[in-house]
Structure 1
Amino acid sequence: MSKEWHIPEGFSQVESKLPGVTVFAPVKQVNGSRDKLVTYTCPRCGAVTRYDIAAGGVACEHCGYVHAVQTQVAGKAAEEHEFRVDVMEKANHVQWTAGRKDLVCEQCGAATSVPENAISGTCSFCASNKIHIADLPVEELQPKYIIPFSINQNQLKTIVSNWLGKGWFHPQSLSSSATVNSFRGVYLPFWTFDAEINADWKALVGYERSERYYDAGSKEWKTRTTIDWRWEDGQVNQSFDDILIPGTRKVSQRILEEIQPFDLNALQSFSPDFLAGWQANHFDLSLQEAWDTAKDKMREKNREACYADIPTHHVRNFSMSADFANETWRYIFLPVFLSTYHFEEKKYQVMINGQTGEIAGQKPVEWWKIWAAIAASLSPGFLLLLIGLPLLLAGGIGIVPLILGFVLLVAGIIFSVSLYKKAVESEAE
């Protein structure tokens, strides 16, 4: 007699896209604490409290009360998740947004979680004043770890002033004339990924060989270099640790890249207390999208490692197959200060790493300085070419200035292209 089959505990039947196939999936577990409202008011005087960097806890500015955050430093050994269905379904879907509200920008679409009593009239990402309060998501993936802010507001003015004053091709009055809006500390969402890649490569590899031959024209024996081609293959194994992918598209990816790295050794277990008085951004880049981006980065680095494994730079018909193993991920919050500043009626973005103080952003360029520098770098080469060419035609004595002029011209072109790219990037978003 066959034993009656029952649905496993914790699973329920879900819709199947294959006829005749029944599919069961883990039941979503709702954390029992999601309905618990978290409020941040001082138990002594009733004033609003916020996470204080210097105090290292939730503090009251009125009476000095401090509540230590219950957390522990995990660092790079912080727990990671595997890519399994049950893990994905149960990946801490809790309402960490309790006691907060969402501000949604109508211009850039950024959704920012702020304390319920916060008053904000502008978007932290694009400085637009077209914002509205939206319903909070019923469930939001909770970050497992966080790096708290360690740079305070008093340090920001010095950091941005020094940064605005750097760079010879920027306006000299930039540091003194720029009107910098107040910085907003925002915890931005990031995904981190670990994986191992086992890659097999195959290519046509060329090896140089010198050979002597007889030149019938000059009736002399000479030496020339030839390349012998042969098929070769190999294997490269690489481990990747903490490939960091931003979880939001609402900020400039270029600027965000420039203020990195973050020291992930400072990761701490997440507590909503860290968000008291601070803003936090919801992720808009899904885990799958972030994982696809991370895999592309890993493949490219692995491809470079395969090329480095080849003992010569003569390579043709290169191909590589990569297998991923031991893939894990984390969802974390990292601290970033966002602001904009105005100079000559134009608006520019700026970001500061809330952990290290590294700053990056847009800066206006005085293009006449760029063109003057490019002209100065190209002029010596052109001048020597103009002098050497007539001398060469006249009596064959212009070969030296021609060669020197060509070298200087090439160097000037390389410098000019590099300078132009740097200037364009300085103003780019």
Structure 2
Amino acid sequence: MPRPEEHRWPCEACGADLTFAPGQQELVCGHCGHVQRIPAAPASERDRALGELDLRAALEGTLPRDATVDVRLVRCPSCGAEIEFDGVTHASACPFCATPVVVDTGTHRHIKPQALVPFKLTEREGREAMVRWLGSLWFAPNGLTEYARKGRTLTGIYVPYWTFDAATRSRYAGQRGDAYYETRTVTVMVDGKPQRRQEQVRKIRWTPVRGWVGRFFDDVLVLASTALPRRYTDALAPWDLGALQPYRPDYLSGFEAEGYTIALPEGHAIGRQVMAEVIAQDVRRDIGGDEQRIDRIDSTFEDETFKHILLPIWMAAYKYNGKSYRFVVNGQTGKVQGERPWSAWKIALAVIAGLIVAGVVAWVTQQQ
């Protein structure tokens, strides 16, 4: 995938750079307002771009050559992002953290992104979503919310992902737990006097079970970047992958795009872990009963395929009162995640208010 700086499309009217307009199928000139439509991809191109690639061939390094590309890149020493360079550039700054980086002259063979979800939210809409999210947090500093509202422009980044498909069949062994109740008599103290009463005690009857479950997994998403915290990007789900478009440089005009830093084998291992968690849920449902114990699951994976895609994320990083905060916004839905800010003053006031209320309640109780 070419470096984002290469994606500059001159305006036919004035020669200034065109920028992709989120939510539209067009490029817009910020200088003169000229609009240039992005042509719809032919059905054959769309089918090819959204088609699955054979996982085994990719892991063995036998993908067709047109599915890969030579790129010059370097890993950022600060955040770990993979930064790509054009033919003459040897030094630049990381778009994620502004750390200066220098690249050698070597090239690396990477799998091309096949498709992407274009930005649907504008920068302003992304910022508004972030400010609303900050405002909804209890004990968040008011100053940070206001700073975010008036702060610097959010950065639009296309982030790399892998998707995995697989047909699975799993044999399991475990135990089914069925609840039953026994009545027992206990002695309790009431007004200083012992009294006997009956109570129901819940117990479980365990029965050994064995069985099979099957499932077809479609487009299991795995983040292919180490530059952003996975706990944040995972929380941006769900994504509507029905909006995927064949990869075109037009959509990247005015935005950043990151190369993948989690290679396909590592991404595949993560994808299988995600599938294993779903399979375990299927096994529990198949066992039934009130409780379940799983002793063993043996799964087979067949017809495994994958895609390499890009998804849109608005990102903001702020330094407030000496502490750094980073937020990410789903560029398709507006869902937000980030560092949880806390206001020491709000927490202190809440504690004081709680102590006052507790004191009043205690005083009223004592008077009664």
Same fold (TM over 0.5): yes
- Does residue 81 (structure 1) correspond to residue 50 (structure 2)? The answer is no
Structure 2 gap ranges (5+) = 1-5, 186-197, 362-368
More displaced stretch, 232-241 vs 372-381:
372-381
Structure 1 counterpart SS, 2:142: coil
Q: Distance in 1 between matches of 2:200 and 2:12?
A: 89
Spell out the pairing of 1:364-383 with structure 2 (5 A cutoff): 364-367=341-344, 369-370=346-347
Match of 2:207 among 230, 235, 258: 230
CA distance in 2 between partners of 1:150 and 1:363 (Å): 26
Partner Cα distance (1:338, 1:280) in 2 = 12
1:139 aligned partner: 109
Structure-2 change in CA distance of 1:139 and 1:43 (3 Å): farther
The letter for the 1-side match of 2:283 is: C
Is contact 1:206-1:312 (8 Å) kept?
yes
Structure 2 match to 1:322: 299
1:345 and 2:314 correspond: no
Cα deviations across residues 164-222 of structure 1 (Å, max 9, x unaligned)? Answer: 322221123322245733211111110011122211111233444567999xxxxxx99
Aligned partner of residue 228 in structure 2, secondary structure: coil
| Shift in alpha-carbon separation, 1:51–1:92, aligned structure 2, 3 A | farther
In the TM superposition, what whole-angstrom CA distance separates every residue of 1:291-336 from its partner, at most 9, and x where no partner exists? 1111111111111221122232344562221111222211101111
Query: Which secondary structure does the structure 1 equivalent of 2:120 belong to?
Result: coil
Query: Following TM superposition, by how much is the alpha carbon of 1:92 offset from its aligned partner in structure 2, in angstroms?
Result: 6.0
Q: Which residue of 1 aligns with 2:251?
A: 274
CA deviation map 1:370-412 (0-9, x unaligned): 577689889999x99xxxxxxxxxxxxxxxxxxxxxxxxxxxx
Cα 1:46/1:324, change in 2 over 3 Å: same
Give the Cα separation in 2 of the matches to 1:183 and 1:252: 17
The question of whether the paired residues in 1 share the 8 Å contact of 2:158 and 2:312 is answered with yes
1:51 matches 2:20: yes
Q: String of CA shifts for 1:235-254, please: whole Å, max 9, x gaps.
A: 11122221100011111111
Q: Which residue of 1 aligns with 2:195?
A: none
Instruction: Kindly provide the amino acid, as one letter, of the partner of residue 133 in structure 2.
Output: W
The partner residue of 1:255 within 210, 214, 232 is: 232
**Unaligned ranges ≥5, structure 1:** 1-36, 215-220, 385-429
Q: C-alpha distance in 2, partners of 1:344/1:78?
A: 46
Greater Rg by CA: 1
In structure 1, what is the equivalent of residue 123 of structure 2? 153
Q: Are 1:197 and 2:168 matched, yes or no? A: yes
Q: Match of 1:144, as an amino acid?
A: Q
Percent identity over paired residues: 26
In 2: Cα distance, 1:168 partner to 1:224 partner: 40
When the two structures are aligned, how many residues end up with a matched partner? 344
Q: Superposition RMSD on alpha carbons, in Å?
A: 4.2
- CA distance in structure 1 between the partners assigned to 2:184 and 2:30 by the alignment: 88
> What amino acid maps onto 1:159 in structure 2?
A
Are residues 1:61 and 2:22 paired? no
The alpha-carbon distance between structure 1 residues 334 and 290, as it changes in their structure 2 partners (threshold 3 A), is same
Query: What is the distance in 1 between the residues matched to 2:204 and 2:318?
Result: 58
User: What is the aligned partner in structure 2 of residue 388 from structure 1?
Assistant: none
Higher mean C-alpha displacement, 182-191 vs 47-56: 47-56
Tell me if structure 2 keeps the 8 A contact 1:208–1:226.
yes
Shift in CA distance, 139/336, structure 1 to aligned 2, threshold 3 Å:
same
- The CA distance in 1 between the partners of 2:199 and 2:143, in whole Å, is 64
Rate the CA distance shift 1:38–1:159 in 2: closer, same or farther, 3 A: closer
Structure 2 residue matching 1:165: 3-state secondary structure: helix
Q: What is residue 186 of structure 1 aligned with on the other side?
A: 157
The separation in 1 between residues aligned to 2:246 and 2:161, in whole angstroms, is: 15
Aligned-partner SS, 2:145: helix
Q: Which has the higher contact order (CA 8 A, sep 6+)?
A: 2
> What amino acid sits opposite 1:312 in the alignment?
G
Inter-partner Cα distance in structure 2 for 1:212 and 1:164: 52
AA of the residue aligned to 2:56 = R
Distance between the aligned counterparts of 2:22 and 2:183, measured in 1?
74
Aligned partners of 1:95 and 1:139 also within 8 Å: no
Give the distance between the partners of 1:116 and 1:184, measured in 2 at CA.
24
Deviates more, 1:310-319 or 1:256-265: 310-319
Residue matched to 1:331: 308
Higher share in strand: 2
Tell me which amino acid in the other structure corresponds to 2:245: Q
Cα distance change on mapping 1:196 and 1:203 into 2, 3 Å: same
Query: Is the Cα contact below 8 Å between 2:69 and 2:111 reproduced in 1?
Result: no
1:169 aligns with 2:124: no
Change (3 A) 1:115 1:62: farther
Distance 1:343 1:186 in 2: 23
Q: Which moved more, 1:229-238 or 1:372-381?
A: 372-381
**Structure 1 residues 250 and 222, CA gap change in structure 2 (3 angstroms):** closer
